[in-house]
Amino acid sequence: MELLKSAILEKGKVLPGDVLKVDCFLNHQIDIQLLSKMGKYVYDNFSDCRVDRILTVEASGIAFACLTAQFFCCPVVFAKKSKTSNVPGDCYMATVKSYTHGNVNDIIVSKDYIKAGENVLIMDDFLAHGEAANGLVSIVKSAGAKVVGVVAAIEKGYQKGGDELRAKGYNVMSLAIIDSMDLSGIKFREN
């Protein structure tokens, strides 16, 4: 999506550790107009399929998920990072390694908020090694629901997450795919 690519080039900063900082519009301060347009773009790509819920993970996926859900007229559910290892029996749980912090979190979703037979669209701000997305996929499967797609605002295409999910047959859509990035610049994959 050209508008997102322009925002990344204009405002993004490449940090050590292979991290792209875009917190001035995507995941700390939120540019509502831009994220709404991104949400509409996602909707237009999935409008032929029923989406009962959008599932993301706290905290950085929530804004993009919410501004997309307004077009699908569906609820957003975000997996919470569990603070204890005692996962309540009324929750689905997955274990996910955090890309940015390096620690491992249990993420949990109440069984009230995903039901068997539902169509679930998974969303996040970034797709890198696929840890977060795979954790969300396993929660959807535990619930007996169906993953209709995995959407990332930004995929780092040189990391394995997106291609592994595609190889497993998931419909992965990324609004911008970065092929390389370093202090000299960011290169996007051609459409």
The footprint of ligand 5GP (CB under 6 A) covers 19-21, 60-61, 99-100, 124-133, 161
* Cβ closest to ligand 5GP, residue 69 vs residue 137: 137
* Cβ closest to ligand 5GP, residue 44 vs residue 58: 58
Q: Tell the smallest beta-carbon distance from residue 48 to ligand 5GP (Å).
A: 27
Spatial distance between the Cα atoms of 81 and 67, rounded to a whole number of angstroms: 22
Spatial distance between the Cα atoms of 180 and 79, rounded to a whole number of angstroms: 30
Q: Tell the smallest beta-carbon distance from residue 14 to ligand 5GP (Å).
A: 8
Q: Tell the smallest beta-carbon distance from residue 132 to ligand 5GP (Å).
A: 4
Spatial distance between the Cα atoms of 79 and 54, rounded to a whole number of angstroms: 11
Angle in degrees, CA 141, 143, 148, rounded to 5: 50
* Cβ closest to ligand 5GP, residue 148 vs residue 181: 181
The three state secondary structure string of the chain is CHHHHHHHHHHCEEECCCEEECHHHHHCCCCHHHHHHHHHHHHHHHCCCCCCEEEEECCCCHHHHHHHHHHHCCCEEEEEECCCCCCCCCEEEEEEECCCCCCEEEEEEEHHHCCCCCEEEEEEEEECCCHHHHHHHHHHHHCCCEEEEEEEEEEECCCCHHHHHHHCCCCEEEEEEEEEEECCEEEECCC
Q: Tell the smallest beta-carbon distance from residue 162 to ligand 5GP (Å).
A: 8
* Cβ closest to ligand 5GP, residue 129 vs residue 146: 129
Q: Tell the smallest beta-carbon distance from residue 6 to ligand 5GP (Å).
A: 18
Q: Tell the smallest beta-carbon distance from residue 74 to ligand 5GP (Å).
A: 21
* Cβ closest to ligand 5GP, residue 50 vs residue 79: 79
* Cβ closest to ligand 5GP, residue 10 vs residue 90: 10
